[in-house]
Structures are given as structure tokens and as C-alpha cells.
Structure 1
Amino acid sequence: MLNTYGRAFATRVFTPVARFLLRCGVTPDAVTIAGTVGVVACGLGLYTTGHLFWGSLGATLFVLSDTIDGTMARIRGSSGRWGAYLDSCLDRVADAALFGGLVVWFARQGASDLTAGLALACLVLGGIVSYVKARAEGLGYTANVGLAERGERIVAVLVGAGFVGLGVPLVFLQVVLALLAVASAVTVVQRMATVRRQALAAPPAGA
């Protein structure tokens, strides 16, 4: 849901920025790469050292580039498979940096194995959520369902970590990660069930 409504809102807000960057000769791919580098720096540079608020704030700004690059491509009339492929691949890198950064920070703080395990579970399950959808689309099915799409996952981790960085007890982030892990697991099941229904409804090969 956030992917749909959030992207539509951000597109309206950042269209002037997209037009300005195009006039300056900046390409959509350059914005995609720069945004990913920024998120990775926040995750592996700030989260791992305990600067959770500034890491979340910085990552939020860079995540917005995910909307700006797409808007730039549409304005320029160059939206295509390469841009979508690059964007999707680098999204996985950015997600891994954020959740991986939390895993490292938890380990450095001597947090319980459960706490670090929750962050790791979110990292792994997030990758599976994306893979299940990509594999379905590769086979000609659709899997656009689920409680925890990328938008929800990113908002959850940035808000949770950001509040803890402002002094909210760590248990808040632990609860956020636990709920996110459960929602991600449910999303995997939802998407697999959706693909199964489509596969059973399709005529047998060669029929």
C-alpha cells in the first residue's frame, strides 16, 4: 500500500526536482546509484556506530531518490527494463545495508542473541519476499500482495531505529523488528499462495 500511495505522493512533490536534475545533465541511473551509496553509507557507517537517528534521517533522504530517478526516466521518456532492473537490484543492496548495520550494532552493544536474530530475520525474510515476487514474474505470474512490501519494511526500520536514536527504549525497536519479521513471513506465504492459485487455474502445458 505504501508503495502505491507513497510513490504517487512523492512523484507529485519531487517532479520539480527531477526536472531540475535533468536540466543539469544528471541521468536517472546516476541518481539511483547515488541514492544506494548514500543508504549504504548510513547503514554501514552510522547504524553500526550507534548513530541511529542520523542514520535513519540520512537514509530517508536518500531513499527518496528511488522516486526521483523513476520520475526523471518518465519525463525523459526513457523508462525501460534496464532502469527497473538496476533499481530493483540496488534496492536489495540498500535493504541489506540497513538491516545488516543493525545486526552489527546489536552485536557491538552486547545485545541478546534474540535481538540480533530479529534484525537478521528481517534481512533474510525481506530478501525472500522480493525473490518470491521476482521468480513468480519470471514464470509469467503475478504476486503483488502482502503485508510487508518494501515500502512498509523500510518505513518500519527507519522509524524504529530513528526513535531509539532519540532515546526511546531499545524494546521499541525490538518489537518493531519482531512484527516486521512476522509480517514478512506472512507476505512470503501470501505470495506463494497467490502464485499457486494462478498455477492451478492455468491450463496444463501442451493442452
Structure 2
Amino acid sequence: MFSRLRGAMQGFWKPLATLLLRWGVSPDAVTIAGTVIVSALALTLLPTGHLLLGGLLIGVFVLTDSLDGVMARMSGRTGPWGAFLDSTLDRVSDGAVFVGITLWFVLHPDEPYATWGAVAALACLVLGSVVPYARARAESVGATAAVGIAERADRLFLALAGITFVPLGVPVLVAVVVLTLLAAASAVTIVQRVATVRRQLTAGSATGAATDAATDRAPDQEPEA
């Protein structure tokens, strides 16, 4: 859902991408800077209770996540290195966001459901890191695992939405429930990807065995007239 919104933002970022390229800024520099800024905001503003400011600023920078890709395409620098760097640093910024949320619950134990919220946020952190790993590992063994109900953008925006508006009067319980549902969605996505890869590899093994059997029988067979 939110990944499509980020895709729609690509056209919006073209003027800024053109300007940055004209200034000699590389797509890699934008990727690294975005990760550093999001991580710094998440680890400073969220734990200290600046939830509204932190959530809004992080959300803005998350929307700029496609800027480096736009710059790479415009400059002809697309390639595996950029994809690797972007994917790797996404894990860093995502982890920082959920660590920041976890620390807010830990440092504010008087908030309602603080323990439950800390556990849910920590579960989002752990399970959310396994979701992309499962897909990457599937591709390394010749399978695909682009399935699931908890994409990265969805997890991040929903988590931020749940915690950002607490200072405006939204009950903490809403944030806790959102985080719990996100953790459950990540767990379901992991199961979906494991099951998908197992089906693919099992089917591939069966096909390979049938092909080998046919090849072994071929020399003993007489050609048809």
C-alpha cells in the first residue's frame, strides 16, 4: 500500500534529483545521508518523548527513500551496488525506528501498557529483520519469495502512525495494538515465504529427479519407427 505511494513520489522528486546531480551529489551519498538522518531522529526524538515531531520528520525522510533511485536512473548509475547499499541501509534505519519506539516504552514505564508495547516493538524489530532476509536467502538458492502481507513501507508507516499521535490524545493502547498486529503480520509473512520457497524447491527437485530418470532410461529404449 505505502510502497505504491512511495513509487508515485518518484516523479515528484525529479526536480530535486536534477538539482542534486547538478551539484555533484551522488545517489550513494543521498542513501547514506538519509539513513544517518532517520537513525539519528529515531534514536534521539522518539526515546525522549518527542513523538509527534520525531514521527513527522521520520515520515518525511522515509518518503524521500526513492530519491536516490531517481538520481541513479537519471545519471545512468543503476546497478547491483546501489541496490545492495540501499537495501542494507534500509535495515539500519528500520531497526533504529523500532529501537527508538522500544526505548520510549522502556523509559516511560508509567505509560499504560508500557511493557506490552516494549515487547511488541521489540518483536517488530526482530521479525521485521527476518522478512527481507527470507526473501534474499530465497533468491540465493534460486527461488522467489516476493509474497507476504507486511511489506517494509507498510510496517514502518503504520508503526510511526501508531506512536506519532499519542501526544495529541490518541490512547497508548492504539499504538500498542498496532505494533502487536505488525509483529503478527511479520510472523505470517515469514511463514508465507518459507512455505513458498519450500514448494518451489520441492517442485524443482521433483522435476529434476524425473528428468534424470528419463535420461537414465533413454539409452535402453529403441527409437520408434
- TM-score norm. by structure 1 comes to 0.95
Partner of 1:83: 82
**Contact 1:60–1:158, Cα closer than 8 Å, also in 2:** yes
Partner of 2:164: 162
Identity of aligned residues (%): 53
- TM-score norm. by structure 2 comes to 0.87
Cα distance in 1 for residues equivalent to 2:117 and 2:7: 35
Confirm whether residue 190 of structure 1 aligns to residue 192 of structure 2. Answer: yes
Confirm whether residue 2 of structure 1 aligns to residue 14 of structure 2. Answer: no
Cα distance in 2 for residues equivalent to 1:10 and 1:55: 21
**Contact 2:124–2:183, Cα closer than 8 Å, also in 1:** yes
Confirm whether residue 63 of structure 1 aligns to residue 65 of structure 2. Answer: no
Q: CA deviation at 1:45?
A: 0.5
Partner of 2:218: none
Q: CA deviation at 1:168?
A: 1.1
Structure whose CA Rg is larger: 2
**Contact 1:31–1:65, Cα closer than 8 Å, also in 2:** no
Partner of 2:220: none
**What is the SS of the residue equivalent to 1:47?**
coil
The AA in structure 2 aligned to 1:99 is F
The AA in structure 2 aligned to 1:88 is S
Instruction: Give the CA RMSD over aligned residues.
Output: 1.5
**Structure 1: where are the runs of 5+ without partners?**
none
The AA in structure 1 aligned to 2:60 is L
Q: CA deviation at 1:57?
A: 1.1
**Contact 2:116–2:176, Cα closer than 8 Å, also in 1:** no
Partner of 1:132: 134
Cα distance in 1 for residues equivalent to 2:143 and 2:6: 23
Partner of 2:71: 72
**Contact 2:30–2:68, Cα closer than 8 Å, also in 1:** yes
Cα distance in 2 for residues equivalent to 1:49 and 1:204: 57
Cα distance in 1 for residues equivalent to 2:23 and 2:64: 16
The AA in structure 1 aligned to 2:122 is L
Cα distance in 2 for residues equivalent to 1:87 and 1:166: 34
The AA in structure 1 aligned to 2:116 is L
**Contact 2:149–2:186, Cα closer than 8 Å, also in 1:** yes
